[in-house]
Amino acid sequence: MSNWKILNIDVDVDSLTRIRHLPFFISSFALMAERLFKDEATEEKGERARMASFIGAMAIADLVKTTLGPKGMDKILQSTGRGHVVTVTNDGATILKSLHIDNPAAKVLVDISKVQDDEVGDGTTSVVVLAGELLREAEKLVNAKIHPMTIISGYRMAAECARDALLEKVVDNKLDAEKFKADLMKIAMTTLSSKILSQDKEHFATLAVDAVMRLKGSTNLESIQIIKKPGGELKDSFLDEGFILDKKIGVGQPKRIENAKILVANTAMDTDKVKIYGARVRVDSMAKVAEIEVAEKEKMREKVQKIINHGINCFVNRQLIYNFPEELFADAGVLAIEHADFDGIERLGLVTGGEIASTFDNPESVKLGHCKLIEEIMIGEDRLIHFSGVEMGQACTIVLRGASPHMLDEAERSLHDALCVLSQTVNDSRVLLGGGWPEMVMAKAVDELARKTPGKRSHAIEAFSRALIAIPTTIADNAGLDSAELVSQLRAEHHKEGSTAGIDVISGSVGDMAERGISEAFKVKQAVLLSATEAAEMILRVDEIITCAPRRREDHM
């Protein structure tokens, strides 16, 4: 899956190819009389190095720019690997992860978007777009003969000031459970509105909020299982309070168990090997082979008996269960499920409150899992095993339904974003308004700072505010609105103290964000601001790029 290329052809792709060729064209200038590097290694200096990294970073930002906001467009990614797998997405991190990039500065941006994804889960596009805009402004300043270090110190001051401005405006409803839940709903809807799920955002927002509330403050999203089943429509997706295991029940075993006692295990149920090193079977007659086979079988029978002695009626194993033990379980009326993957096992342990066992000699002290009902259910065409009435309410399952696997993949990514943001918000419950409101608040504060700051740095601070405004501008542009008009209206609106105005993309006008219920998590915005500044700073500091000769591929490849 590592080699992808972008299929939709637009201007951005042109600039990408341009960057790729840039080093070669520059290297002809940089070659000195004395050969210092290995063949094919290149070196770029000063202005040229800076130009190469600016162009690279801006090209990447422009590439994902069109996906920003509720009316952002999707991209098709086609892998160059076998099968030419196609992905349709507008998730910034996914797009950037799939690109094959040569330009080092562009790699920095890809990296920050990945980190944003890992840390807060959303805002992956915004962070790249903001970093790109910061660099675009920086390029103008560099051309106006302002030293990069001066720009950096200006940017730092501006970022600090912008963060303080946001901190002043945050709303924290942690103590009021009702309001807090409403906040979460708003955040989830805002996040989802830019994704494929926007049609049913209310439905999915409820799903996501319910799921996250169950976690009770933990950020471990592993306990939320997402099962994708093609068929039906997106609206048919549902949250199940129990646990669904995508496995089949063994032949001849009960299909429905009430008041189940579950033993979750990770043990070999094929042939239990002798683990003493160097042991091997050596016999001199067929009869002895048979004897040992019987002994082996006996051993398995004993093991199964031990397991059954735990007083269970359901046994879930991570590894294979061979026919023989399966038969024994069936005889005892125990439901045996084989080959559940590791995550499934861990989750099942978590939900049912059982421990994952590997030895079975002390049945009295092994904690068994419990649930009210195990039954086989049908979703679409597939049969799944459903555990309901579980003890621990933390885990849950979201079943996604949709027309095609591509759609489901994208829906999963979108839902994942929403879940990430929500789980982070549960811990850091500070909330901001959305729709370009935070950017305008920051821009206003930064502008004021610029006016107060003497010296060349003020230019950089001013530029920072312009870069911030570029985000609402892009959102409006992507929605096909008159961005120049809207943003200037917005700015006028924000001149008033305590304004809650933002861009309402749906109606195409400036509107009251608090009224429309558009909110964003403070943590996401802060991460966007700080990592974008950090990345821009990193790229600005560079004045030389040295590229080593690419490692030679082996001949047989």
Partner 1 sequence: SDPVEDPSFGGILGEMALAFDEFGRPFIILREQDQKTRLRGLDAQKANIAAGKAVARILRTSLGPKGMDKILQSPDGEVTITNDGATILEQMDVDNQIAKLMVELSRSQDYEIGDGTTGVVVMAGSLLEQAQKLLERGIHPIRVAEGYELASRVAFDHLEHIAHKYEFSATDVESLVQTCMTTLSSKIVNRCKRSLAEIAVKAVLAVADLERKDVNLDLIKVEGKVGGKLEDTELIYGIIVDKDMSHPQMPKQIEDAKIAILTCPFEPPKPKTKHKVDIDTVEKFQTLRGQEQKYFDDMVQKCKDVGATLVICQWGFDDEANHLLMHRNLPAVRWVGGVELELIAIATGGRIVPRFQELTPEKLGKAGLVREKAFGTTKDRMIYIEHCANSRAVTIFIRGGNKMMIEETKRSLHDALCVARNLIRNNSIVYGGGSAEISCSIAVEAAADKYPGVEQYAVRAFADALDAIPMALAENSGLQPIETLSAVKSQQIKENNSCCGIDCNDVGTNDMREQNVFETLIGKQQQILLATQVVKMILKIDDVISPSEY
How far is Cα 315 from Cα 305, in angstroms, rounded to an integer?
12
How far is Cα 460 from Cα 466, in angstroms, rounded to an integer?
10
DSSP code string of 470-490: HHHHHHHHHTT--HHHHHHHH
- The verdict on whether 91 is a catalytic residue reads yes
**Closest separation in Å from C-beta 307 to partner 1:** 13
**Catalytically annotated residue among 42, 66, 124, 453:** 124
**Which residues does 22 contact at the CB level (< 8 Å), separation at least 6?**
52, 55, 103
E runs forming strands in 112-183: 171-172
CA 156 distance to own-chain centroid: 28
- The verdict on whether 124 is a catalytic residue reads yes
Element (H, E) at 130: helix 124-143
DSSP H helical segments within 338-482, as ranges? 342-352, 405-427, 437-452, 457-478
Q: For partner 1, give the closer residue by CB, 73 or 274.
A: 274
How far is Cα 324 from Cα 329, in angstroms, rounded to an integer?
9
**Catalytically annotated residue among 200, 417, 447, 504:** 417
Q: For partner 1, give the closer residue by CB, 3 or 507.
A: 3
- The verdict on whether 150 is a catalytic residue reads no
- The verdict on whether 80 is a catalytic residue reads no
Record the tokens describing residue 516, joined without a space. 């429309």
Radius of gyration of the chain (CA): 29
Q: For partner 1, give the closer residue by CB, 275 or 556.
A: 275
**Which residues does 545 contact at the CB level (< 8 Å), separation at least 6?**
23, 42, 43, 44, 49, 52, 53, 104
Record the tokens describing residue 206, joined without a space. 């409820």
Q: Are 198 and 432 in contact (CB under 8 A)?
A: no
**Closest separation in Å from C-beta 552 to partner 1:** 9
How far is Cα 334 from Cα 510, in angstroms, rounded to an integer?
63
**Which residues does 252 contact at the CB level (< 8 Å), separation at least 6?**
327, 330
Between strands 356-357 and 256-265, the pairing is parallel
Dihedral pair phi/psi, residue 175, rounded to 5°: -75, -25
User: What count of other Cβ atoms lies within 10 Å of the Cβ of residue 77?
Assistant: 21
How far is Cα 80 from Cα 88, in angstroms, rounded to an integer?
15
Q: Are 352 and 262 in contact (CB under 8 A)?
A: yes
Element (H, E) at 522: helix 522-540
**Closest separation in Å from C-beta 232 to partner 1:** 28
Record the tokens describing residue 68, joined without a space. 């920003």
What phi-psi label fits residue 280: left (phi over 0), alpha (psi between -120 and 50 degrees) or beta? beta
**Closest separation in Å from C-beta 53 to partner 1:** 7
Record the tokens describing residue 154, joined without a space. 């200006």
Point out the residues that are catalytic.
Answer: 91, 124-125, 417
